A = this chain, B = another copy of it.
Amino acid sequence: MDDGANPIAPAEGGPLRIEATTGITGYRLRRAQLAVFQRFLAVFDSVTLRPAEYSVLVLIADNPGRKQTEIAEVLGIKRANFVTLVHGLENRDLVERLPLASDRRANALHLTQTGAAFLARIRLMHEGMEEDVVRRLGGPDARDQLFALLDRLT
Interface residues of A (CB under 8 A from B): 1-3, 7-12, 16-21, 23-37, 40, 51, 54-55, 58-59, 61-66, 70-71, 74-76, 98-103, 108, 110-113, 116, 126, 130, 133-134, 136-138, 142-143, 145-147, 149-154
Q: Which residues in B have their C-beta under 8 angstroms from that of A26?
A: 33, 36-37, 40, 51, 133
Question: Nearest CB to that of A97 among chain B residues?
Answer: B9
> Would you call A21 and B136 a contact (CB within 8 A)?
no
Apart from the given pairs A1-B116, A2-B64, A25-B36, 17 other A-B contacts in the complex at a CB distance below 8 Å: A9-B64, A9-B108, A12-B108, A16-B74, A17-B62, A20-B61, A21-B59, A21-B62, A25-B143, A26-B37, A27-B51, A29-B150, A30-B33, A30-B37, A31-B150, A136-B153, A142-B149
> Would you call A62 and B98 a contact (CB within 8 A)?
no
**Interface SS of chain A:** helix
Known contacts A33-B30, A70-B16: does B130 contact A25 (CB below 8 Å)?
Answer: yes
